[in-house]
Amino acid sequence: MARSAKGAPVSAVLRDPAPSLQPLTVADLSRVMAVEQRAYPFPWTRGNFIDSLAAGYVAKMLVDGDTLLAYFVAMPGVDELHLLNLTVAPQYQGQGHARLLLEVLRACARDRACPSIWLEVRSSNARAQAVYLNNGFERQGLRRGYYPAAAGQREDAVVMRLFVAGGAASEPNRKPDAAG
C-alpha cells in the first residue's frame, strides 16, 4: 500500500475529474439530440438547435469525459437572458447538474449586465419548477396553450423570472413607491 510523506496509508486510486463545462456546437448535436429524445415527449428539433447556435445564443454543455450530462440554450435580449432549453440527461437527474448550469447562466447574465433571466416551464413539470424556485426564480404568470401536448392538445407554461444580483446598477421594471 502507498504511504503519504507522514507515513499514513493512502489510496492509489485516482479520482475521476469533475465534469467540465464546454460550449455547445453543431458538432455536438448528435449527442444532444439523443438526450433530447430521451428527456421529452416533445423534444426540440435539430433545426431548433442549429438556428439557436447560428443566432449566437448562449449554449453550454456539461460533460464527463465523452458523456453528455446536461446542456442549456439561452437567448440574450434587452436587459435579460431568456432560458430556452435546460436539459439534464434522464439518467443523471437529481445530481445537481441543473443547479450548476443555472449558476453558469447567472454568471452569463452578470457578464452581459442582464438584470434578469426569464423562462417558461410546463405547468405539469413540478420537478423542474421546484429546481427553479429553489434557485431563486419566482413565478410571474401563465402562458395558456404554450406547449404541444398529447392527442393534439396544448399545455400551459408557467413563466418564471430570476433577478440577477450584479446584472445591472438597479433592478429593472420596479416602479418607484409613492414617495419616489
* Among 57, 71, 132, 147, the one annotated catalytic: 132
Sequence-distant (≥ 6) Cβ neighbours of residue 93 within 8 angstroms: none
Q: Would you call 57 a catalytic residue per the annotation?
A: no
Cα–Cα distance measured from residue 144 to residue 141, given in angstroms and rounded to the nearest whole number: 10
The residue with cell 445591472 is 168
Q: Are strands 58-64 and 67-77 parallel, antiparallel or unpaired?
A: antiparallel
Sequence-distant (≥ 6) Cβ neighbours of residue 136 within 8 angstroms: 162, 163
* Among 80, 120, 146, 171, the one annotated catalytic: 120
Report pLDDT digits (tens) over 45-96. 999 999 999 999 999 999 999 999 999 999 999 999 999 999 999 999 999 9
Cα R_g (the chain), whole angstroms = 20
Query: Which SS3 state, helix, strand or coil, does residue 48 take?
Result: helix
Residue 171: all three cell numbers together: 433592478
Q: Would you call 120 a catalytic residue per the annotation?
A: yes
Asked if 154 and 137 touch (Cβ cutoff 8 Å), the reply is: no
Higher pLDDT, 41 or 18: 41
Report pLDDT digits (tens) over 110-160. 999 999 999 999 999 999 999 999 999 999 999 999 999 999 999 999 999
Residue 173, pLDDT above cutoff 50: no
Look at residue 175 in the predicted model and tell me its pLDDT: 40
Residue 143: all three cell numbers together: 402562458
Counting beta carbons within 10 angstroms of the beta carbon of residue 14, is it exposed (0 to 12), middle (13 to 18) or buried (19 or more)?
exposed
Look at residue 18 in the predicted model and tell me its pLDDT: 86
Cα–Cα distance measured from residue 180 to residue 171, given in angstroms and rounded to the nearest whole number: 15
Region of 105 (left: φ > 0; alpha: ψ -120 to 50; beta: rest) is: alpha
Cα–Cα distance measured from residue 72 to residue 70, given in angstroms and rounded to the nearest whole number: 7
What phi, psi does 115 have (nearest 5°)?
-80, -10
Query: Whole-model pTM?
Result: 0.84
Please provide the average confidence, as pLDDT, over all residues in the chain: 90
